[in-house]
Structure 1
Amino acid sequence: MHGIIVNMTLNMAAVTVDLVLLTIRQGALQVLLIRRGIPPYQDRWALPGGFVLDGEDLDAAAVRELREETGLDPQAGHLEQLATYGTPGRDPRGRVVTVAYLALLPDLPAPTAGSDASGAEWRPCDVRDLAFDHDRILADGLERARAKLEYTPLATAFCPPEFTVAQLREVYETVWQTTLDPRNFHRKVTSAEGFVEPTGNTAIRDRGRPAQLYRRGPAALLHPPLLRPSR
């Protein structure tokens, strides 16, 4: 407006990336956590992550952190941006905005703690009292994963390159924390266009006929979707 001088103050904020790394181990959905070795929240469990380097793209920072924490390339599973968290006071060190990423990966070996952590473990996803606002970030990541299993082939990210329908059903049951009818699930999976495609190979089972092996198909969305029983 004419005659009015507006003074603007730029409040600089640090930017971090945090990772919700999910895998299925020992029949349970687990998340990778690190025990902080330095303040703030020393000795508390937290999601892995770190500050974005100068000149580094956000996605590149997430890929770097994923490789440092797991030794894997994101192509081994699934990596996507989850949400941005910037509530004032979320980090006692100052104004810190974090961009959280969700990664879904096949079963992984025991992790190795980074330089600023005193430990790293795969923990059950019902863990509570994490450092910073990581309880909220983990809850958001879990709901994103559960929802996307309904309408995308994302469950295959938890599976090896070739898998049986029974293995895929175990992923859904583990992530959704429910029990699914095997025959009904098989029908829905094989009738969803482009969800899975047969490899021509079979797996030997303890009992019964060999099970057909599948790989992820080309579909990006499931038609029709596989809705959670509660839906």
Structure 2
Amino acid sequence: MINRSDSRAREQVLVTVDLVIFTVREDRLQVLLIERGQPPFEGRLALPGGYIRVGERLDAAALRELQEETGVDGSQLHLEQLRTYGDPERDPRGRVITVAYLALTPDMPVARAGTDARSADWRPVDQVLQEEAGLAFDHDVILREALERARSQLEYTTVASAFCIEPFTIADLRCVYEVVWGFKLDPSNFRRKVTRTDGFVEPTGEHRVQELGRPAALYRRGTARLLSPPLLRSSEVAHSQLSTAALR
């Protein structure tokens, strides 16, 4: 017989999904945030998300929230599950476990607010992480971990091309790495590594006319999903430092 007063008794748990949606706008890594229009944390910035509906799968809920918050078909984007956050104190309304998703997308249009938000807007990630007020719930933690996941993904996978609108140049792709990693890369070294990695990018045979210099070759996403060898941040920093030292 179950003792209802037993501290080990089951508690009611609600499940939500939260979305960390990254894009590159104006040569900066930006994240979609909403201003909450109701308690708790009314008026605070937060990641878009919402409760799971009855009978709804997690991935379907994430796609629905993405559609509702941005008007974008998430099936065409890079969307992956980040991890689950279940601290008992993360939501003042009760025990709420959230499954966070990471979405990577090319330059997005102006955001639109969902049903429970006053506004929605793209904001530079570096500025958001420096603001004293912080995000609602534990969304600061989720955002930081999503940022590190995105940075790591660029080292070992070809996901950087998900930020590029096809066709793109090698310089466009390099800009993604520089924006997400937060430091400049040597153009020649980057081009050599990208073009020598099988399946990373595929040439279209076309070129983009530029204001200065020769026309730039255009590429599309290749068939590879993993980078072999990986494009490591540590080696790129070292190469950049050596190049700088050689110029002194």
Bucket of the pairwise TM-score, normalised by the shorter protein: over 0.9
DSSP 3-state at the match of 1:104: strand
Higher fraction of helix: 2
Instruction: Name 1:158's counterpart in structure 2.
Output: 163
Structure 1 window deviating more from structure 2 (174-183 vs 124-133): it is: 124-133
Instruction: Name 2:243's counterpart in structure 1.
Output: none
TM-score (norm 1): 0.95
For the Cα contact (< 8 Å) 1:202–1:212, is it kept in 2? yes
- Cα offsets for 1:152-179 (capped at 9, x unmatched): 0110011002100000000000000100
Instruction: Name 2:245's counterpart in structure 1.
Output: none
User: Residues 121-140 of structure 1: matches in 2 within 5 Å?
Assistant: 121-126=121-126, 127=128, 128=131, 129-140=134-145
Residue-pair matches, total: 227
- Cα offsets for 1:114-146 (capped at 9, x unmatched): 121111110111214000000000001000000
For the Cα contact (< 8 Å) 1:77–1:158, is it kept in 2? no
Instruction: Name 1:49's counterpart in structure 2.
Output: 49
Runs of 4+ in 1 over 6 A off after TM superposition: none
User: Residues 1-231 of structure 1: matches in 2 within 5 Å?
Assistant: 9-126=9-126, 127=128, 128=131, 129-228=134-233, 229-230=236-237
Question: Shift of residue 74 of structure 1?
Answer: 1.8
* Partners of 1:218 and 1:15 in 2: CA distance: 35
Structure 1 window deviating more from structure 2 (86-95 vs 117-126): it is: 117-126
* Partners of 2:106 and 2:151 in 1: CA distance: 16
Unaligned runs of 5+ in 2: 239-248
DSSP 3-state at the match of 2:172: helix
* Partners of 1:100 and 1:153 in 2: CA distance: 22
- Cα offsets for 1:173-224 (capped at 9, x unmatched): 0000100000000000001111011111111111121111111111110011
* Partners of 2:94 and 2:58 in 1: CA distance: 20
TM-score (norm 2): 0.89
Unaligned runs of 5+ in 1: none
* Partners of 2:41 and 2:118 in 1: CA distance: 12
Question: Shift of residue 10 of structure 1?
Answer: 2.3
The residue type paired with residue 158 of structure 1 is F
* Partners of 2:112 and 2:224 in 1: CA distance: 35
Question: Shift of residue 9 of structure 1?
Answer: 2.6
- Cα offsets for 1:102-121 (capped at 9, x unmatched): 00011011111112111111
For the Cα contact (< 8 Å) 2:63–2:75, is it kept in 1? no
The residue type paired with residue 85 of structure 2 is Y
* Partners of 2:185 and 2:76 in 1: CA distance: 27
* Partners of 2:206 and 2:68 in 1: CA distance: 35
The residue type paired with residue 10 of structure 2 is L
For the Cα contact (< 8 Å) 1:151–1:225, is it kept in 2? yes
Identical amino acids, percent of aligned pairs: 62
The residue type paired with residue 157 of structure 1 is A
Question: Shift of residue 80 of structure 1?
Answer: 0.2
DSSP 3-state at the match of 1:156: helix
Please tell me the root mean square deviation across aligned C-alpha atoms, in Å: 1.3
